[in-house]
Amino acid sequence: PNPFNPQTTISFQLSEDGFVQLKIFDMLGREIAILVNEFKSSGYYEVNFDGSNLSSGIYFVQLSSMNFIDTIKMLLLK
């Protein structure tokens, strides 16, 4: 989703059922949004994120599920 302005779709795939959290953080590590915070079955998912209320800059998307955590960088350009 790089760069995006001001909306993007974040996709992820789960290989097993489990509790999932998908969060957005700013450069200072402050939590900006929680997009997913629930139990999900295995499969492919897409989540829309609207950054229209945020300023341009770098943000981080963190996906955590069971024993897995991954973080990617996103660039918001307005």
> Could you read off the pLDDT of 32-63 as tens digits, one per residue?
999 999 999 999 999 999 999 999 999 999 99
CB–CB of 4/18 below 8 Å? no
% of the chain beyond a pLDDT of 90: 92
Per the DSSP assignment, residues forming a β-bridge with 68 are 65
Whole-prediction pTM value? 0.91
Q: Would you say residue 1 has pLDDT above 80?
A: no
CB–CB of 10/47 below 8 Å? yes
